[in-house]
Amino acid sequence: MADTNSTPFEELNSTTTPLGAGGTWTGQWQLIGRDIRLRFNAVSDQLTSIFVDYSNTPTGDTVLTEPPLGYSFGRNLTEAHIVSPIASYYRLRVVNGDTTQTVLEVYASFVDYNGPRVTPLNKRIGRDEDAIPVRPSDNQDDILRGLRAGVSILNKWGYRDDLDVADGDALIIADNTTNTPAILSVASTLTIAFDNATDGSGTTGALSLLFTYIDANQDLQEATVVLGATGINITAFTALNVNRCVVLSSGSANTNAGDISITATSTADVEAFIPASSGTTQQVLAEIPRNSVATIKYILLSALRLSGGGGSPRVIFKIHVYSRITETTYEIFRSKMDTDAENSQVISDPIGLKLTAGDIFWVTASTTTNNTEVSARVSLNIYAID
């Protein structure tokens, strides 16, 4: 057993060597004294997990891991844990995520203190933190501010200002023509089309775009594209889905001057659309990345008819989900709106509508009257699965 008076860290279960993608580091079996607690703290620049293995023999003939799912810590989030050993020997195992680390520090030690730990007022809280938060905490605000590890928010919004009866259950997207989402089974490069007289290199409009997309491995990624002068750009990356695209930089117009259409190069189907002067995609469609679950917490729907005859529209809104696992589309929500009586609806579900990895959700609307304008907003939390 390590001498706690002279050795601050238990070297055989401490490491500062970064791991490659999916890499594992395993410490060595060490004897734990009676009434001694095990403490370890760790930090990495990538999503990483630590497992505490126990055995009653110094060779680990029978191994028990407690807790079975280990401890996870987020990017650049220092965590410390004090555990009560359940066997005579222990070792640590560190398992990296899908991205190579450049920073990894894991330190183990033996302590005789078993009092409570508290988190500082400004510290991001891990999902399995062994501490009592000392700040007043609103969970949803903490998620929004990035103070809760392993969970993020996604807001999707969009409008359609010319929905006709013949469109049927039509995707809410600002191009007014894409009724059904084109779901890619194979990742494709994206073709960006714009008016090079108003946007692109040397113009006052959009100069570059930031994509948030799902890649071929169903991971969430970001990429920047600098717009050229020809009116057409093809991305260097491939995507299964575009969750959002925003104008990252612009000229004196401070936004995109004209429409920007983003299609799959392989199929020519619309994957995203930024209408003129919007600066961001206006479409209620997104995909949940792998190793994640999500809950839709809030839905805002609105509809009206701005001009012309034909009476007040009756509109049916639906939320559809396509599962990449079952390769099947499901309707998970439906709401009817009579614009004679109301023009908007707000739905806050106390439980939330659950989505799983590989689910693509989108909102549609159908109307009884031509030239109907509809819009929607959906807010959800996305939780990483350990």
The tally of CA atoms less than 13 A away on the side-chain side of residue 340 is 6
Which pLDDT score, from 0 to 100, does residue 295 have? 96
Give the lowest-confidence range in 52-61, 189-198, 303-312: 303-312
Q: Are residues 275 and 291 in the same domain?
A: no
Locate 78 and state its tokens: 């220092």
Phi, psi (rounded to 5 degrees) for 166: -70, -15
**Exposure string for 4-25, b = 16+ CB within 10 A, e = fewer:** eeeeebbeebbbeebbeeebeb
CATH of the domain at 31: 2.60.120.680
pLDDT one-digit tens code per residue, 220-233? 999 999 999 999 99
Q: Identify whether 37 is part of a domain.
A: yes
Bigger pLDDT: 308 or 38?
Answer: 38
Beta bridge partners of 247: 209
Write down the pTM of the prediction: 0.74
Which pLDDT score, from 0 to 100, does residue 3 have? 41
Number of independent structural domains in the chain: 3
Residue range of the domain that includes 245: 179-281
Bigger pLDDT: 219 or 70?
Answer: 219
Contact 90, 53 (CB under 8 A): yes
Q: Are residues 229 and 307 in the same domain?
A: no
Q: Identify whether 120 is part of a domain.
A: no
pLDDT one-digit tens code per residue, 171-214? 999 999 999 999 999 999 999 999 999 999 999 999 999 999 99
CA distances in angstroms from 57 to 63, 67, 95, listed in the order given: 9, 19, 23
Q: Are residues 276 and 185 in the same domain?
A: yes
- Cis bond upstream, residue 350 (ω within 30): no
Using pLDDT thresholds of 50, 70 and 90, give the confidence band for residue 286.
very high
pLDDT one-digit tens code per residue, 109-121? 888 766 666 665 5
Bigger pLDDT: 68 or 35?
Answer: 68
Contact 74, 42 (CB under 8 A): no
pLDDT one-digit tens code per residue, 65-98? 987 878 888 778 788 888 888 889 999 999 998 8
Tell me: pLDDT of 4 over 50. Answer: no
What's the farthest any 2 CA atoms get from each other in the chain? 87
Q: Identify whether 210 is part of a domain.
A: yes
For the four alpha carbons of 343, 348, 354 and 356, in that order, the dihedral sign comes to: positive
- CA–CA separation, 257 and 250 (whole Å): 9
